[in-house]
Structure 1
Amino acid sequence: MSVGNPRHQRHVSLRILLAGLAALIMILPFVIMLSTSFKPQTFVLEMPPELIPSEPTTRNYREAWSGNSFAKYFANSLYVALSTTFVVLLLSSMMAYAFARFDFLGKRIVFVVLLAGLMIPGIITIVPAFVLAKNLNLLDSLNGLTVFYSGGMVAFMTFLLRGFFEKIPLALDEAMTIDGAGPVRRFFHLYLPLSRPALATAAIFTFLGAWDEFVWALTVINDPEKRTLPVAIAALQGQRATEWGLVFAASAIAVIPVIVVYVFAQRQFIAGVTAGAVKD
């Protein structure tokens, strides 16, 4: 089919139109959130709504950050998300390395069981998980959140990284073995450096999962000083049901770390998610 074919051009135009429409639908709620966050309370529910506020103000941001211990909740979420990302990357990369390059008794069975756990919705296990957290004295604990977030994400990240590790040429592994490198050295000096795109992808998914998680944090955290941002924003909305500018300003601040993480890791992330899209 030639490039100048009218039918081909119509198909391309239709795909561009549909992609643009999908992008607009996805970004519109974010634009409305940002617009509302800069509006005074008296203009929040104005009709017709204005995407560009006629009288913009930063009062909502100042009040959101300085009031209601928001900075404390921000720090709590950042600690939990970063610690979860570190633990998940460490454990899942080591497990993926073992599944990709070593043979041991029950390897296939263990991997199938690991994947089977991904098929169980987290909400089903929330009650036994709560009992376990209580028995381990991990209630009302930020470290407790890290433990359970890590446990819930390790399986998928292991599955993700295993595929990348298996693509690393076995000849490089054998060459380092001949040079006297042991499994640990090969792991840190061969597999991890060559798997940066996969590690960046896993890091972004893990950070987002821990940063945005709401249900488990709401279930096990009772101390207001140990709340994470999603729980704090929900509580803010309950206390100030009509102050949507304040709620949206808090939500906009909560998005900043996500954007920062993606901006710094976007090149590796894109390489990671597209690595399997091209056939060797």
Structure 2
Amino acid sequence: MNTRKLANNTVLIAIGLVWLVVSGAPFYFMAMTGFKERFELFSGDVFAFPQNPTFTNYKEVLTGGSFFTYVQNSVLIVFVSVGLILVISSMAAYVFARMKFILNRPLFGLVIAGLVIPVHITLIPVYLFTRDIGLYDSLWALLGPYVAFNLPLSIFILTEFMRGIPREMEEAAYIDGAGPIRTFLRIMLPLSMPGLATLAIYNSVTLWNEFVFAFVLITSPKNQPLPLAIWEYQGQYSMNIPAILSVLTLSALPLVLIYIVGQEKVLRGMMAGALK
């Protein structure tokens, strides 16, 4: 029995190491290439350690442009969007999971139908609407699309999560005199924290990397989020691949750090949802 368990653990460790290499190789390539000189990439092994490591590329990106302005814009729009997504989806999920009314299932089905709508077919209507209401070329033009297109999945996940919470806890709250709002705030919301944390990290990663809506709705450099900055740097350093990859490394680094810090909450949320 111990031999079989040891063999299973060995296989799992081997698979994990292989996956670590596969997923970590691109980030290693980006980070190491950023320390290379301009033409060193073409003179040897692309995965080789830099012959003369230099911080020139990273220094040029951090000091030679508006990189921190782009980061600030991305942090602001992602923070506000994710906050609205969590607030709206948690309230909607509580209604769908706990309250019985005649339109419950049709409305929930309508929300789920939003998952199959291709985002790109809405670009022209969203652009025209944003222009008409005067938000075009502002950072807040992204708020509506970011929230709207990430609500269906968030509502679906939280609804199924809340349906798994025992009703006895709500009934005990009702006996103590709590109404629906107080029950939601004191019982359902705290018990749904693993699911909320999972959705917060998932939506943050998705919105941090979003490019299409930002490209269509924003033109001024001062309002551009980080993905558009990468596009601009691609044109600026078109013949300097190490500089471009240094931009990509700095752009991906916040997501890597966030996931390292929040990976336990993501796994707990996924496991809790699966068990429920």
Quickly name the TM-score band, shorter chain normalised: over 0.9
Q: How does 1:58-77 map to 2 (within 5 A)?
A: 58-77=55-74
**Contact 2:97 2:163 (8 Å CA) reproduced:** yes
Cα separation, 1, equivalents of 2:145 and 2:273 = 30
Structure 1 residue 260: Cα displacement: 3.0
Corresponding residue for residue 113 of structure 2:
116
Q: How many residues align?
A: 276
Structure 1 residue 3: Cα displacement: 5.1
Structure 1 residue 124: Cα displacement: 1.9
Task: Provide the aligned C-alpha RMSD in A.
Answer: 2.0
Structure 1 residue 12: Cα displacement: 6.5
Deviations 1:138-157 (A, max 9, x none): 21121121221011111110
Structure 1 residue 26: Cα displacement: 2.0
TM-score calculated relative to the size of structure 1 = 0.91
Q: How does 1:1-280 map to 2 (within 5 A)?
A: 2=1, 4=3, 9=7, 16-278=13-275
Return 5+ residue gaps in structure 2 as ranges. none
Cα separation, 2, equivalents of 1:276 and 1:196 = 11
One-letter amino acid of the counterpart of residue 62, structure 1: K
TM-score calculated relative to the size of structure 2 = 0.93
Percent identity, please.
33
Cα separation, 2, equivalents of 1:248 and 1:207 = 22
**Contact 2:195 2:273 (8 Å CA) reproduced:** no
Structure 1 residue 188: Cα displacement: 1.3
One-letter amino acid of the counterpart of residue 273, structure 1: M
Residue 46 and residue 277 in structure 1: after superposition, are their counterparts in 2 closer, same or farther (change >3 A)? farther
Cα separation, 2, equivalents of 1:204 and 1:266 = 9
Deviations 1:204-252 (A, max 9, x none): 0111111110011001101111111111111111221121221111111
One-letter amino acid of the counterpart of residue 206, structure 2: G
**Contact 1:100 1:162 (8 Å CA) reproduced:** yes
Return 5+ residue gaps in structure 1 as ranges. none
Residue 112 and residue 40 in structure 1: after superposition, are their counterparts in 2 closer, same or farther (change >3 A)? same
